[in-house]
Amino acid sequence: MAELMPTPLADARWTIFLLLLPGLAALVCVVLFSVVKRPEKAGQTDPAPGYYHVLGIDKATGAGREATLHAATEQGARGRAEMDGILVTEVRRVNESVPDA
């Protein structure tokens, strides 16, 4: 009859295991989710200093306005245009490569 009764040490191991199991499962889910759902940057290049063509509207006159600015990033060009009084509608990176003639 003594063989059928579990020992207190074995019960403690199972209790600890069962208490740690939900945390372990959550950790595995978080790691898998971060690996699977990593945002992709397809078609986007790393920000680099260069020339950006900014299109927009002049805040003072309401007329269409465009400018070519040198900035570190697209957001930098957008900010500089805002400081120059342009309500920015579009920013394009100027292609620095020149095709052969």
Residues 47 and 91: beta-carbon distance below 8 Å: no
DSSP-assigned letter for residue 61: T
pLDDT (mean) for 50-62: 92
pLDDT (mean) for 76-84: 93
Spatial CB neighbours of 47, under 8 Å, sequence gap ≥ 6: 72, 73, 74
Q: What is the reported pLDDT for 55?
A: 94
Assessment of whether the complete model's pTM goes beyond 0.85: no
Kindly report, residue by residue over 27-36, the tens digit of the pLDDT: 998 888 888 8
Residue 81: count of CB within 10 angstroms of its CB: 22
